Amino acid sequence: MKTASRLLGIAILLSAVAPAPAQVKIRNKPLTVPGEIVVRYKASRDVAANTARLAQAGVTNIVTRPNVPFISGRIAGGSNLEQVLAACNADPEVDYAEPNYRLYALETPPVFPNDEYFSDLWNLHQANDNDIDAPEAWEMTTGSENVIVSVIDTGIDYDHEDLQANIWRNPGESGGGKENNNVDDDGNGYVDDFRGWDFINRDKEPFDDQGHGTHCAGVIGAVGNNGKGVVGVNWKVKLMALKFLGSDGSGSTADAASAIIYAADNGAKVLSNSWGGGGASQALQDAIQYAHDRGALFIAAAGNDGLNTDSSPNYPSNYDVANVVSVASNDRNDGLSSFSNYGRRTVDLSAPGSSIYSTRPLGRYQYLSGTSMATPHVAGACALVWAKYPGLQPLQVMVRVLGGVDRKSEFIGRMATGGRLNVFNAMGTNPFIALTTDWSNTPNTGGPYPVTTSVVDDGSVSRVRLIYALNGGAADTLNMAAGTNDIYSAGIPGQALNTTINYSVLAVDDGGNRTLSPTYSFKITSEPDPGDGGGCCGQNAMAIEGLNSSAKYAVEIPLNLVFFLLPVALLRRWRRKK
């Protein structure tokens, strides 16, 4: 494929942002003790009678306490919490019956690391809370060395002070001199690939001679709380360095597909892909499908052309494979970055991508902007969720991340979730709803109009309902049937022309916790659908905002040449000194 590959860009420096005072957030912790209730009977009944009556209502493990006027217990397996509560409250001998709510100590603060430049990382934490709530998520986990994220890019500076401890080492090629014995010890087809592979030069040294991959790696997993530099979404993680983009920022489909297959074969759970360009490639799509079949998520940059990818496809983010998550970029005010692509049906969510401070080769740090910078935030969030919940399936991680976004007016109608990444939300215990069918206008009056959705929970999902209303009238409800892989479905009956249908999904878990999805809308009409309006291969390395087209050409081209050539010159000088 002949593609001019130009990486994403440096933006202006940001002033330091001081951490806001610690504020406890309980919204994503369990609301109730699953399946437990508290009941108070009227004084006219004795304890033995009350206990027997409660058992008849379907409550087991009944507990009475000295000098306490209520009884607690757990509902029997297969019983519905709300039905048991309703039955108890209908009993004339009951004063009240309610869930056994879970309470929390309020002195526990978010976790702030001691990294030198943490105050510059608005993307992780800032005073206006337009961030991904990383410190709140770090209350629950700071990551795991058991989660491998492949950075498929220009390589990584694996000797960087803020990355070295988190670099993945291939266990089959490490120890006892295996790193340099010129033998394919693990039989994977790559000789001495003890820390990844360089698919351009066909060797075991995937060192970053451009800068882009090292920056992305730092966003995912710069070492946390080490008193140095920056911190990634994960303090602990394993970063697999896979180099297929060269010092000029370009690469080929064949090398990209090979890197994807390598990542899937060698244990990467998350593949971070901050690149794009060219047309649709069957070889690349097949490689992504291969990764899907081996349980890996493929996180992809939506692109930097400011276009609607529903009508102007960007690859690889537009491939219709179930493990692909397409990521747009937002700024520190929760606005869509001026360069970012978008698409109601082909872009999933936004993440911080304007003026992001992270690692740079040769032990340095820098600001860069682009959907390339947004993508590793989502890759890092998926890794952090997997660290907290290691038993999750890939789709369950995806649903948590997509279902946990902070919805923003700027993004509604411009991407599938209508929201910006919030990794703290993704750690929650209430039901998560995502990947719901978003109907377009249709002339079909016969129906039904099938709606599917994905729902996951830290416990079990007790029921999922489809709520719909016609022309703003009273709502009707359908039970959504459970299928495989946490997918639920129902069909809205056919309607006459000029009927507007609004619908949403309600999910309830075994603890009685509820989540209501956003509302979707479509119309039964014979008129054409109006549409949705309006890595980085194919993108400029330096994206400078506020210039007209002629000025951008005059200024950005020389700057990009400097950006590409300077790391090469510095690297050569550094190697000569060594």
Active site residues: 153, 212, 372
Nearest alpha carbon to residue 455 among 495, 476, 484: 484
How far is it, in rounded angstroms, from Cα 106 to Cα 494? 51
Q: DSSP for 450-516?
A: EEEEEEE-SS-EEEEEEEEEETT--EEEEEPEE-STTEEEEEEPP--TTEEEEEEEEEEETTS-EEE
Contact at 8 Å (CB) between 278 and 171?
no
Alpha-carbon torsion (466, 471, 475, 478), positive or negative: negative
DSSP 167: B
Q: DSSP for 357-392?
A: EEEETTTEEEEEBSHHHHHHHHHHHHHHHHHH-TT-
Burial of residue 295, with CB atoms counted within 10 A of its CB: 0-12 exposed, 13-18 middle, 19 or more buried: middle
How far is it, in rounded angstroms, from Cα 413 to Cα 350? 12
The two three-digit tokens of residue 145, written as one number: 């060395």
Please state, as a whole number, how many other Cβ atoms lie within 10 Å of the Cβ of residue 19. Answer: 15
The two three-digit tokens of residue 466, written as one number: 């489809």
Chain mean position to CA 447: 34
Contact at 8 Å (CB) between 178 and 185?
yes
How far is it, in rounded angstroms, from Cα 74 to Cα 38? 9
Chain mean position to CA 273: 13
Contact at 8 Å (CB) between 375 and 273?
yes
